């Protein structure tokens, strides 16, 4: 993008949208005031990704943030990146890129509004009022529609309200499926498990009992209780699991160390030990309302270890803290049997080439129908017993 500005008049003044302000040049308090209750959009989280080099031009993530200003005050932003590939996004457009290639066209670079490597739904057109949101969206669209540098714009894991606004602006909407656990006020893990049907409840109990019989125990640490040794072991597990799948970790040890130093109060580390020897670790991000399941790894295979470390321990933590929801992240049909139910995710796209856009629009329309059917089938296959009734009402009894 050029270092330029554009302005739109509003009832209370002029909103100026800029593309030449780096996140690192903004005070953390100034940025974080835009994203309360969103630790994965916080200055600390995004800066750790940038400063560690994990989301940087060298890895194909070139920050191109839009910021909105009124009277010299930051009033909104879009976390945009110029992308040279489609890795780390979790809304898959590889087939679109391949179609461009087969027709001798250039798909990259493209613009992506996202939290790098983080498939967590939340605002991407960040503002406190509709005028600012509209100014940011208009500028983002113009960057693609009025130029020839970028093939497309993609806003990933947006809110439902943003999807409506983006559709109104002519963007294509894609739907996907993730899994989420909701806490209506469970008293303990047993109270939660009592809502399961007999077979699914028995399976979870068997999972936990087998781990105990194998000598596996779990500990949970938050904040400054997570030591340097804990971080070293966690990264060993994280890196080992990527290597076992012939892959390269997206995040570096430096990135996690920065997170530990700047946002420890939002981090939960679960560690498993077998006969006293650490064998796996899972790292989650949380605030007062939501826990996001994020990273995990193991140095030894133990049946059921992943389910306990990544799901049951997280659910117990949420119940203890009164946290309302647990976002399970991308993919994972196995989450359904653990009480995480399907939820629809949304993304918005604009394709500069009108012929490709028409074909992709047809694909997105069919995909939305398929996703709706999938969500319905998954809901019917959930683990909860017939007659459990309204979970919120049930949890309030006794």
Q: Is residue 328 part of a domain?
A: no
**Under 8 Å between Cβ of 184 and 389:** no
For residue 20, give its domain range.
5-178+344-377
Q: Is residue 164 part of a domain?
A: yes
CA-to-CA distance for 196 and 69, rounded, in angstroms? 50
Whether residues 189 and 52 share a domain: the answer is no
Q: What was the pLDDT predicted at 332?
A: 84
Q: What was the pLDDT predicted at 331?
A: 79
Interstrand relation of 152-158 and 126-127 (parallel, antiparallel or unpaired):
unpaired
SS3 category, 303 = coil
Angle between helices 130-145 and 160-168 (to 10 degrees): 50
- pLDDT for 341-376, tens place per residue? 999 999 999 999 999 999 999 999 999 999 999 999
Whether residues 88 and 215 share a domain: the answer is no
Percent above pLDDT 70 for the chain: 94
CA-to-CA distance for 113 and 89, rounded, in angstroms? 10
Q: Is residue 385 part of a domain?
A: no
Whether residues 358 and 287 share a domain: the answer is no
Q: Is 203 a residue whose pLDDT tops 90?
A: yes
CA-to-CA distance for 398 and 395, rounded, in angstroms? 8
Q: Is 148 a residue whose pLDDT tops 70?
A: yes
CA-to-CA distance for 97 and 86, rounded, in angstroms? 9
CA dist 201 → 180, 378, 388 (Å) = 18, 18, 13
Whether residues 69 and 164 share a domain: the answer is yes
60-64, 253-257, 277-281, 385-389: segment of lowest average pLDDT: 385-389
Whether residues 23 and 172 share a domain: the answer is yes
Q: Give the containing element (helix H, strand E) for 395.
A: helix 391-395
Q: 165-171 contacts: CB < 8 A, separation 24 or more? A: 165/125, 165/133, 165/134, 165/137, 166/137, 166/348, 167/348, 169/137, 169/138, 169/141, 170/141, 170/350, 171/141, 171/348, 171/349, 171/350
Q: Is residue 314 part of a domain?
A: yes
Confidence (pTM): 0.93
CA-to-CA distance for 314 and 327, rounded, in angstroms? 10
Q: Is 6 a residue whose pLDDT tops 60?
A: no
CA-to-CA distance for 310 and 296, rounded, in angstroms? 7
Residue partners of 125: CB distance under 8 A and separation at least 6: 76, 78, 113, 133, 136, 137, 140, 155, 158, 162, 165
CA-to-CA distance for 164 and 351, rounded, in angstroms? 18
- Reference 280, options 218, 221, 326; nearest CA is 218
Whether residues 363 and 251 share a domain: the answer is no
Q: How many domains does the chain have?
A: 2
CATH number of the domain to which 265 belongs: 3.40.630.30
Q: Is residue 387 part of a domain?
A: no
Q: Is residue 297 part of a domain?
A: yes
Q: What was the pLDDT predicted at 316?
A: 98
Q: Is residue 338 part of a domain?
A: no
- pLDDT for 258-309, tens place per residue? 999 999 999 999 999 999 999 999 999 999 999 999 999 999 999 999 999 9
Q: What was the pLDDT predicted at 330?
A: 81
Task: Please say which residue of 323, 352, 368 terminates a domain.
Answer: 323
- pLDDT for 223-257, tens place per residue? 999 999 999 999 999 999 999 988 999 999 999 99
Whether residues 141 and 192 share a domain: the answer is no
Whether residues 104 and 213 share a domain: the answer is no
Whether cis (ω within 30° of 0) applies to the bond prior to 109 is: yes
Q: Is residue 130 part of a domain?
A: yes
SS3 category, 195 = coil
Rounded to 5°, the CA angle 284-118-108 comes to 165
Whether residues 160 and 31 share a domain: the answer is yes
Q: 283-288 contacts: CB < 8 A, separation 24 or more? A: 283/234, 283/238, 283/256, 284/314, 284/317, 285/39, 285/40, 285/45, 286/39, 286/317, 286/321, 286/323, 287/37, 287/39, 288/37, 288/321, 288/323
Whether residues 140 and 13 share a domain: the answer is yes
């Amino acid at each position: 993008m050029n270092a330029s500005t554009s302005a739109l008049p509003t009832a209370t003044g002029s909103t100026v949208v800029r593309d030449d302000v780096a996140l690192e040049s903004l005070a953390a308090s100034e940025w974080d005031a835009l994203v309360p209750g969103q630790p994965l959009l916080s200055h600390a989280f995004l800066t750790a990704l940038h400063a560690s080099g994990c989301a940087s031009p060298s890895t194909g993530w070139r920050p191109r943030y839009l910021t909105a200003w009124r009277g010299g005050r930051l009033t909104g932003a879009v976390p945009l990146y110029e992308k040279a590939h489609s890795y780390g996004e979790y809304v898959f457009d590889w087939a679109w890129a391949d179609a461009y290639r087969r027709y001798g066209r250039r798909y990259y670079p493209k613009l992506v509004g996202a939290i790098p490597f983080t498939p967590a739904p939340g605002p991407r057109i960040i503002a406190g009022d509709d005028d600012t949101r509209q100014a940011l969206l208009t500028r983002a669209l113009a960057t693609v529609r009025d130029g020839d540098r970028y093939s497309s714009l993609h806003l990933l894991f947006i809110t439902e309200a943003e999807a409506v606004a983006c559709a109104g602006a002519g963007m294509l909407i894609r739907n996907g499926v993730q899994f989420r656990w909701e806490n209506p006020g469970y008293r303990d893990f047993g109270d939660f498990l009592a809502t399961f049907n007999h077979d699914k409840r028995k399976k979870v109990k068997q999972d936990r009992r087998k781990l105990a019989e194998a000598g596996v125990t779990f500990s949970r640490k938050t904040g400054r209780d997570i030591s340097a040794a804990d971080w070293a072991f966690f990264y060993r597990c994280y890196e080992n699991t990527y290597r076992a799948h012939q892959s390269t970790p997206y995040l570096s040890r430096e990135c996690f160390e920065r997170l530990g130093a700047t946002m420890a109060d939002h981090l939960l580390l679960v560690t498993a030990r077998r006969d006293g020897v650490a064998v796996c670790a899972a790292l989650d991000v949380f605030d007062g309302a939501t826990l996001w399941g994020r990273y995990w790894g193991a140095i030894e295979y133990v049946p059921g270890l992943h389910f306990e470390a990544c799901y049951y321990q997280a659910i117990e933590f949420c119940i203890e803290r009164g946290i309302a929801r647990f976002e399970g992240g991308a993919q994972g049909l196995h989450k359904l049997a653990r009480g995480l139910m399907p939820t629809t995710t949304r993304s918005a796209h604009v394709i500069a080439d009108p012929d490709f856009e028409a074909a992709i629009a047809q694909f997105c329309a069919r995909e939305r129908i398929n996703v709706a059917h999938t969500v319905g089938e998954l809901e019917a296959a959930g683990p909860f017993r017939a007659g459990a009734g309204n979970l919120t009402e049930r949890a309030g009894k006794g």
